[in-house]
Structure 1
């Protein structure tokens, strides 16, 4: 099983003083954090796409290009690219360039987007939400599988005998599909034989079991090789030396960001009892010391048959020094113990 980190590029916000961290500072921190992930031996890094004032990253491929120049081994991918509101041809070109910069370490994770700001920004109609994703995902797969492209769809002009340059270093760019709790999205990924990443950011993870089974059945029913099936989970995580101390110190940071997001979705204020349940045996938060993290990651691997665990570690933008400490713990204490246990 691969272990890595997904981030959205949250900027630090102090509600009391009105301080908002600049994207310039946060982006510099992210590159330093990815460099450390590579040094401690983590398997992958993913960065998300957002178009809001509380996030610093609107273009994952730009961050990945910068990270490619300071890393050597870690896989670099999006988490996610909102393909519904972008041009798949330009997206594939950009990721192909990052693949060249990184000597063949790039990945692309496609998603519909849980935030919808990119649709009006780039001139798309929300009524086409599902159709846009379906068509653009299929075009992206076509671009990845073929050197010469012939394509006709409903949302762009046809493509006739075009080759996309530059070509990636890898024969094909590894592509994942990120899903929440939508059954149709899970079935689509299974039918297409694409690796799938489940975002489990609320409730009891065991409740997702039926969706994992639906994916596996769709994958196998469509003739894909079971040995190549890849399944991951993306879960809010943070690590420290002291289990209770890291939980207590991270709560106000985490809750503040959940409340910022919740304002636009009519969520009630985030409560400490929600957080404590999330950290419990049946919760969705992997927040604590190395022992807690090792136990939870192994539990989910056994429960779901995971090939990848993605720790979403920058919710609310913890201090850069705390992020570096958490990354070090993950790479030097958690990941080795998880892999050791799985190899027995």
Structure 2
């Protein structure tokens, strides 16, 4: 998400949602190919970024976003590729860096990391972590990930959830001079303040309420950054919202509503691709012209 630009893209969680009419679930392999096709269509239409969410349960197909993003990299040319989010609390920052630095090389410098605590908690017991350490895990691992981005080889002994590193050679290094690391925030003021104090961009997941209701979170993020000596103008903000673009608002509601109520997604591929095309060719030009705010990234989900 290049600095100084208003960017528009997609987020997909790869959810496997039953068709509300037939009750049938999509085949995982076909659904995954559809996710790759979505990225290709978004790239060709001129959207700026696509994100892949991470969930560890059988009703989602994208349990390994870096692999999905790598497949997207081979089918696209310019669109930026990000996780949405990487559940950093239950992962190893060293491995996360290795995966996304590799993605950056494969994609000729288009990779980004969106790190988060995760709105679902199934990954914590799956990978042997205690939910009681939810916040501390994220703080420690985000700090380590940022150190890995800054320094190689790295000596680190500041944590309690991972063994120390002593002159560790963590490779590969990203093609980008500074691989972008965003922090996903669901609306918690403390998270926004901590993110701003670190000087990191924030991505707000607007799951409930209006976009405007999150303005206080944005203000706290920028105020914390300013108090920490950061330039508030450099603290980028993104929004992740639900949406579907139809030929008319009535058609959009009629198309999306049954799938939205069935589980935030599952729109048929043909209708989804048509929505992506309209977003890129009809909506995006208006947004870029009317809302040319250099520090905001707007996204709308591809599949839920």
Listed as ranges, the matches of 1:116-131 within 5 Å are 116-131=121-136
1:239 positional shift: 0.8
Counterpart of 2:297 in structure 1 is none
CA distance in 1: counterparts of 2:213 and 2:285, whole angstroms: 28
Listed as ranges, the matches of 1:1-344 within 5 Å are 1-14=6-19, 18-152=23-157, 153-257=159-263, 315-342=264-291
CA distance in 1: counterparts of 2:71 and 2:26, whole angstroms: 20
Secondary structure of the corresponding residue to residue 113 of structure 1: coil
- Unaligned 5+ segments in structure 2 are 1-5, 294-304
Does the CA contact (< 8 Å) of 1:48 and 1:80 recur in 2? yes
The C-alpha deviation readout for 1:33-85, integer Å capped at 9, x for no partner, is 10111111111111100012221100110111000001111110000000000
Does the CA contact (< 8 Å) of 2:19 and 2:266 recur in 1? no
CA distance in 2: counterparts of 1:17 and 1:121, whole angstroms: 33
Counterpart of 1:286 in structure 2 is none
Secondary structure of the corresponding residue to residue 140 of structure 1: helix
Tell me the matched-pair count.
Answer: 287
CA distance in 1: counterparts of 2:178 and 2:101, whole angstroms: 9
Counterpart of 1:287 in structure 2 is none
CA distance in 1: counterparts of 2:135 and 2:9, whole angstroms: 29
1:16 positional shift: 6.8
RMSD value, Cα: 1.5
Structure 1 residues 156, 6: CA separation in 2 closer, same or farther (over 3 Å shift)?
same
CA distance in 1: counterparts of 2:216 and 2:172, whole angstroms: 41
Does the CA contact (< 8 Å) of 1:9 and 1:317 recur in 2? no
CA distance in 2: counterparts of 1:206 and 1:159, whole angstroms: 43
The C-alpha deviation readout for 1:76-95, integer Å capped at 9, x for no partner, is 00000000001110010000
1:204 positional shift: 3.1
1:12 positional shift: 3.4
* TM-score under structure 2 length normalisation: 0.91
